[in-house]
Structure 1
């Protein structure tokens, strides 16, 4: 039976209370942990964490999917600590920024990743522990029982790129993540016999929710770091997966490989966020998984998720964002601050208990994005003003129009153009650099880098330097050289003109 919609938030570590003790909860490569195993290990890990850091301290993780990265969010929450997951695709410079910005007191990561850090990359007083050594250290710790923390306490900081500058940390409470899990488990109709294949990074809110909503429903999660799309197909067949979440570029890849019957037979639902699905891709997925319900969704880290499209409407309204999810109030606000009329474009504003607590140690950017809810809001309080332009039709369905900022959304990742530009300038090989998002059928947007070369410019050296300093999803796919960069009448670099050069 699907879970009921309970609006009462609880401490995050209570998420694993609902599952049957002997039922599978976490399907790893070498073993399957039951809910009782999960409860025991979360208790012991939380007890050890308390010997390493005091309440409210930040605990960062930088490792691939596995037992530790799956359990840390709940163990940190139980211990009253704040979890800071770092995307394992990030490299030293990005990880060092997140560690410094969050002021992490403890870093748990794979030994190979820890060895890439230089002296000074860790904040003062921060201890690094290799994931491989963790259970030996925590094995003798005193288990910590279920917490009774205030659900409004800070529980996690998720770093997401802004339109300019370095990634910023979004502060999430126990209640934010708990109610997100309840909401998604309810509208997806998750049940105790469901098996979710977790292919998305656990450093994303969408990725973490794969765990949380499944565990809230009492189902099982199989984490997977895949190299090829065929790895996902094989895992679906091996585990009898019923629920698969992905972003459009991955769905595109998955739609191009063969899906045998044993990989699709058990599938009940597909979910998408991180970008819109195209109509042809929707048709392909419906053909590959005829018995599965398809849930297109829209979200932003600052408010977790805002909308979903009911599967019954996907065929008739394939480009719609749908309507607000449970616990979310979604408004379309015009330039005058009032609700836009049906069919008119406005800014998507999200209010309600899913709204995050702001940006970590960044009052200026918090004030820009987290502002008083519109006067017509039912929830009131603080709302997230997304900057995304949408319209609502007479039937209540929402449609995405465009983004106000300069963010590049590629392969489901939000990328700051400035971060790429700074990396290029740091090589000393270019005098000016502009990064833009070039429309791409598979990636959503591919990264284009325009440069004005320095005296000793060498394109191959620049590519090698960027490969060393930026993760794969931030690598430019196209590069253009200018003797004189396009500028607007104000003398600023003209991003629109540069983008047009890439497109033409």
Structure 2
């Protein structure tokens, strides 16, 4: 990266100029160089412009973790468009909603996915072109990706964008309501990238494994960080099975691996049986949930030479905090300190700043990483972006309950909309989950709230156990009764073989809540 970079796509210029023949991406055992990526993204950009894409128009890409997705990301930016990357596993009705909400000018997807969309999608007035990865183009405004790359002169026209223009819209689905489009400007994404590089320090010699979805910011930034550093991205399908991950780690001498806890547990279980370790890995990162003690032990066992970074963030500002590796043992349960060039504080329910250690409040983030707002949703934007301490600025009210210790290290307590009110008292699910994780033999834990006649809202816990561990639900409940306040004790604990997860690797709390309700009804008879 150069100080003169003002548009996100410019971060690729230095790596391509320094080593054009170096491997930029390895996908499906094929290698693509920086020069090939530059050429293909330039041709795609020119093709989009020939088909009428104008500055700041949205391009919806639904291809999954493929090299074509990476090419499309940089090509859309070079054409002056706004990238809207959607996971291939997204249901057809949700994809239809995003296409309409974003008023997409171009859709790039597979023929199978396109066939699943509503019949009227292709006739939308603002949809100028449909680009299919495979199959045949059967209409004037439908193209194959190969034919699009052959249109234009291969060199896109200057896009005219400024750093305050949008680079991407990332759609996030909350616990309720339709997906919201997080608007990220070039300035937002460059600020996040600079901050991440400051403390993570990806190197040109790194081989970065990414099996996280590129449609989510954690996976997307693995690609951006690796390529902007001149490293090699080893791109895999989303949440590849452990046997294939192990093969890729060894085959390509992977040095950096980003994880979410569920992915780590699967890899550890498989590798532990085979006594496999990976001493060449120099860095592992985690986000999505604070690292528990057993997760840290698993990482140390698998990657004995690696620095371990536990991080926390949300799409609306990319990353909030990171825990320096040297603090991983001294600050158990902490998600760390503010990332470089940002600041954070807590406020109470009346918006007053909290200065007392260990007091829970809503987390507020200030910095250039904070989103521009939610696409076409001023009401939701106003709930999140509020006046900051200085005139003319906005800060992000995250909607997350956290606490700070006496050293300024952050501890995540739970989403405000996930807090459970049991017996008239607010309970953070993460506090009960942490208690369960601390019990020897518990591999994973998730807690949800369900309506209950006598306590208002009751807690229902789901756990998985380590290999060969035999613990009963009654034993776990007894531990909770002795170790937790009465209003924090779950109504029931279900021991499962595995827990369902969302597309980004987090536990699927909505599905678990539905399971708990069904179990509650079955008990009631």
The interval holding the TM-score normalised by the smaller chain is: 0.7 to 0.9
Does residue 264 of structure 2 align to residue 223 of structure 1? no
Partner of 2:357: 342
Partner of 1:25: 24
What are the equivalent positions in structure 2 for 1:5-404 lying under 5 Å apart?
10-19=6-15, 20-52=19-51, 53-122=53-122, 123-126=124-127, 127-132=129-134, 133-142=144-153, 143-144=155-156, 149-225=161-237, 226-258=239-271, 264-336=278-350, 337-373=352-388, 375=389, 381-404=393-416
Shift of the 235–222 alpha-carbon distance from structure 1 to 2, 3 Å rule, reads same
Partner of 2:511: 476
> What is the CA–CA distance in structure 1 between the aligned matches of 2:203 and 2:407, rounded to whole Å?
30
Superposition RMSD in Å: 3.3
What are the equivalent positions in structure 2 for 1:389-428 lying under 5 Å apart?
389-406=401-418
What's the offset of the Cα at 1:140?
3.7
2:96–2:118 CA contact under 8 A, matched in 1: no
What's the offset of the Cα at 1:480?
5.9
Can you list the C-alpha shifts for 1:58-98, whole angstroms capped at 9, x where unaligned?
10011121122112222111111111111111111111111
What's the offset of the Cα at 1:357?
0.5
Count of aligned pairs? 434
2:77–2:167 CA contact under 8 A, matched in 1: yes
> What is the CA–CA distance in structure 1 between the aligned matches of 2:96 and 2:234, rounded to whole Å?
29
Shift of the 326–104 alpha-carbon distance from structure 1 to 2, 3 Å rule, reads same
1:14–1:146 CA contact under 8 A, matched in 2: no
Can you list the C-alpha shifts for 1:4-43, whole angstroms capped at 9, x where unaligned?
xx77652111121221222211112253121122211111
> What is the CA–CA distance in structure 2 between the aligned matches of 1:181 and 1:244, rounded to whole Å?
17
SS of structure 2 residue aligned to 1:304? coil
> What is the CA–CA distance in structure 2 between the aligned matches of 1:442 and 1:322, rounded to whole Å?
27
Unpaired stretches in structure 1, ≥5 consecutive residues: 410-416, 418-434, 444-466, 483-497
> What is the CA–CA distance in structure 2 between the aligned matches of 1:111 and 1:442, rounded to whole Å?
39
SS of structure 2 residue aligned to 1:156? strand
Can you list the C-alpha shifts for 1:147-185, whole angstroms capped at 9, x where unaligned?
663111011110001342111000011111122222212
Unpaired stretches in structure 2, ≥5 consecutive residues: 135-143, 420-428, 431-448, 450-456, 466-499
Shift of the 99–241 alpha-carbon distance from structure 1 to 2, 3 Å rule, reads same
> What is the CA–CA distance in structure 1 between the aligned matches of 2:242 and 2:94, rounded to whole Å?
27
Can you list the C-alpha shifts for 1:317-375, whole angstroms capped at 9, x where unaligned?
131110011122111223342243222222110111000100000000000011112x3
Shift of the 283–240 alpha-carbon distance from structure 1 to 2, 3 Å rule, reads same
Bigger RCO of structures 1 and 2 (CA < 8 A, at least 6 apart): 1
> What is the CA–CA distance in structure 2 between the aligned matches of 1:437 and 1:360, rounded to whole Å?
35
2:403–2:410 CA contact under 8 A, matched in 1: yes
2:277–2:302 CA contact under 8 A, matched in 1: no
> What is the CA–CA distance in structure 1 between the aligned matches of 2:504 and 2:362, rounded to whole Å?
32
Shift of the 480–251 alpha-carbon distance from structure 1 to 2, 3 Å rule, reads closer
SS of structure 2 residue aligned to 1:41? helix
> Which has the larger displacement, 262-271 or 63-72?
262-271
Shift of the 442–436 alpha-carbon distance from structure 1 to 2, 3 Å rule, reads farther
> What is the CA–CA distance in structure 2 between the aligned matches of 1:242 and 1:119, rounded to whole Å?
46
> What is the CA–CA distance in structure 2 between the aligned matches of 1:500 and 1:7, rounded to whole Å?
60
